[in-house]
Amino acid sequence: MPDPAILRELERKLEEAPAGRSWPAGSPGTVSTGVPDLDAILPRGGLPRGEPVEWLGPRSCGKTALLRRVLLGLREEGEPVAIVDAERTLFSPDWVGGGDGAFWVVRPPSEEEAAWCTDLLLRSGSFGAVALLLGDEPAGSPTSGPWRGRRPELRRGVAVRLQRLAEEAGAMFVVGGASPLAALRLRFRPGRVVPVTGIPFAPFLPALRPVWVRVGRGRSAEVPVLCPEPGGGRPRRAGEPGTIRDRKGRR
């Protein structure tokens, strides 16, 4: 069973959060990824609201950078977003700036608490997007880490509950791992975009990162997209670190 004290503390903070919403609850809609080439190949031209989106790939493949771009786009529109960092690796200080919408990071001590925290965040109806980051898809045969070589995946019963809450809230719900009820499945892997001349051009575009994305399951085609890098294309603010990070080592 999850620790009741953790859930009570999260409930208290949700009660103190400003009320109000800037998106229509329960209504269909999509959220842009911020990458036009990717939006063009998605079935609805973007990420659906109110339905689980599976967001899966190995470490350092670009999936977290793209998720950051998506959430930043919502925050720039004034929508609050929340991340449940089940793996406890997100470098949240470098995610804070860049939009008017509130930004929450919840770091529960276990996988079970992560699911319950996600439940409370969706149930509150206070967020335009909630992302549950379970972990990375194993690369090779890892022997360490929280998943020890198995794919991070929501249990079906948990997935059913969270799907219903996301639908009621009209919020975008991203599962950073596998979800048995996902309405949209995206799988990422790192890549290099090569033009017809055969000369890789990615090294000359420091603000963009080449990523391969597979939409759907099975034999669905993989498509190369250029994902904006964190902080790319804008000047540094005073006191801002020279390198902006998405992730850090597990604690």
For position 134, what pLDDT does the model report?
92
Q: Where are the beta strands (DSSP E) in 127-182?
A: 129-133, 172-176
- Report which of residues 37 and 7 the model is more confident about: 37
CA–CA separation, 186 and 43 (whole Å): 12
Yes or no: say if 154 and 173 are a contact pair by the CB < 8 Å rule.
Answer: no
For residue 196, what are its two tokens? 């017809």
pLDDT score of 150 more than 80:
no
pTM above 0.85, yes or no: no
> What would the mean pLDDT of 83-112 be, rounded to a whole number?
85
φ/ψ bin of 115: left (φ > 0), alpha (ψ from -120 to 50), beta (otherwise): alpha
Domain ranges of the chain: 25-139+151-228
What is the average pLDDT across 124-152?
72
Taking residues 179-189, report their average pLDDT.
90
Fold held by 25-139+151-228: Rossmann fold (3.40.50)
User: What's the confidence (pLDDT) of residue 17?
Assistant: 67
Mean pLDDT (whole number) for 177-194:
83
Of residues 122 and 211, more confidence is placed in 122
| Residue 130 confidence (pLDDT) | 96
pLDDT at 203 over 50: no
Collapsing DSSP to helix, strand or coil, 176 comes out as strand
Per residue in 28-53, pLDDT (tens digit) is: 689 999 888 888 888 889 999 999 99
Does position 78 have pLDDT exceeding 70, yes or no?
A: yes
pLDDT surpassing 70 at residue 96: yes
Digit-coded pLDDT (tens) for 231-242: 544 444 444 444
Q: What is the mean pLDDT of residues 154-175?
A: 93
